[in-house]
Amino acid sequence: MIKKLLLPVIVLASGLAIWSVLAEKSSEIPAAPPLTGWMQNFTPTVPSGPALEGKLLGQDGILRSLSDFRGKLVLVNFWATWCLPCIREMPSLQRIQKKRGGDDFTVLALAQDFNGWKRVAPFLQRHDLSGQPVYVDEETVIARSVRIPGLPVTMLLGRDGKILGRLVGVAEWDSAEAVALIDYYGQQKQRRGDDLKEATNERGR
């Protein structure tokens, strides 16, 4: 009889232990993305989605797909060589790529020039934008699919390719507030996964 009573008590205690760990950790995650400074015009997509799809033409002539970048946060910048505001913010995109680019994050600069790489390649060389992942959005197919109102426009994609939000206009993408926004979306899913793992470990101790 005592053993029968002890079992539900143990299960309840274990559940409370997991809940307490998750509650404590989740309180560290802001309830909403930080939208200050350069990011004050960032508009979150709620709910996130749909996944952004399309083909990208590399300077090597190879077509790639946006789906090739699944598994990492992707900052997609729609720009053109004739767009002065785009040129203004391009160095900050280069800096955030050098600072954060890797297995979990990348910048994709999608050129909207109709002359494609014939126009884009000399521009990149002239402005010393090496190391920046740049592709051509042929015939602006991707931009038109998401109804880009003008240039520049920058979108943040989640690891599943879904649109988390967009910012219309110029921004300093390596500013403290931009980094905080990227970290917010980057840490949300990762922290929850780590929290569940830690809570499970706590239960097994």
Q: What is the pLDDT of residues 45-97, one digit of tens each?
A: 988 778 999 999 999 999 999 999 999 999 999 999 999 999 999 999 999 99
Domain boundaries, the chain: 32-185
Q: In sequence order, what DSSP letters do the residues of 44-102 get, joined into one string?
A: E-SS---B---EEE-TTS-EEEGGGGTTSEEEEEEE-TT-HHHHHHHHHHHHHHHHH-S
Q: What is the pLDDT of residues 109-168, one digit of tens each?
A: 999 999 999 999 999 999 999 888 999 999 999 999 999 999 999 999 999 999 999 999
Which residue in 30, 42, 66, 26 sits closest to 175, CA to CA? 42
Pick the CATH number of 32-185 from 3.30.830.10, 3.90.79.10, 3.40.30.10, 1.20.950.20: 3.40.30.10
> Which are the contacts of 41, defined by CB distance < 8 A and separation ≥ 6?
167, 168, 169, 171
Q: At what angle do helices 176-204 and 2-26 cross, to 10 degrees?
A: 170
pTM of the model: 0.78
Which residue in 105, 55, 104, 112 sits closest to 75, CA to CA? 105
Peptide linkage before 152 cis (omega within 30 of 0): yes
What span, in angstroms and rounded, lies between the C-alpha atoms of 205 and 202? 5
> Which are the contacts of 67, defined by CB distance < 8 A and separation ≥ 6?
51, 53, 161
Look at residue 168 and give its three-state secondary structure: strand
Average pLDDT, the chain: 84
